[in-house]
Amino acid sequence: MEREIFITGIGGQGIQLAAKILAEAANREDKQVMLFGVYGGMIRGGPSDSTVVIADEELSAPPILDEGWGLIAMHPASLAGLIGKVRRGGVVLVNTTLVTEPVARDGVTVLEVPATRLAEAAGKIVGAALVALGAFVEATAVVSRAALLDAMRAVVPPHRQSLIAFNEKCCDLGRSWVSGGAEARP
C-alpha cells in the first residue's frame, strides 16, 4: 500500500503542521513516510502546500509526484492545479467554507467539510486544518485516530501546548462530520 496525499492552502491555516502530524502518525504505526512542504516567504496568506507519502514498504525516492491518492484542499488557491493530479479511486477533501465552487472530478470520492466554520464554531478558526485532517483520517483510515492524536500531541510546538485539548476537539469534530455525528453540526 502506498498513499500520496497533497495538502494545500495558504499560510496561517496550519497546512505544514497538519502534514507533519499526518506523517508522524504514520511513522508511529511503523509505516514508511516521506514529507515535504513548499511555502513562500509570507507567514500568512501566501501559498502553502505539503505532500505526505505513506507506504508499507521502503520509500527510496523523494516524493515529487505527478499524481497522488489524496488531496486536502483548505483554500481554492492551489486546488485547480492539484485536483487533476488525484488518480481514480482517490479521495479529495474540500474545506467548503472557503472552497465555494463545487469540485467535480470523476473517479474520486469528494468529501465536503466546512472545516473553517466548524473550527470557528468550536472557538478558534486556527483549528480548521485539524478538523479537515480528522475528517480525512476518519474517511480513509490512512492512520488510526489514536496515532493521529498521539502525533498531534508530540508535534505541536511548546508555545502552542495550551491548544492540545482544542486540537483534539477539532480532530474529533472532523471525524464526527464524516460519520454523521450531530455534535459536529454547528
Query: What's the number of domains the chain is made of?
Result: 1
Q: How far is 99 from 60, CA to CA, in rounded Å?
A: 35
Q: Is the pLDDT of residue 183 over 60?
A: no
Q: Is the pLDDT of residue 156 over 50?
A: yes
Q: Is the pLDDT of residue 139 over 90?
A: yes
Domain with 129, as residue range(s), is: 2-184
Average pLDDT over residues 82-100: 94
Q: The CATH number of the domain where 111 resides is what?
A: 3.40.920.10
Q: pTM for the complete prediction?
A: 0.90
Query: For residue 186, what pLDDT is reported?
Result: 47
Of 10-19, 37-46, 132-141, the range with the lowest mean pLDDT is 37-46
Query: For residue 64, what pLDDT is reported?
Result: 65
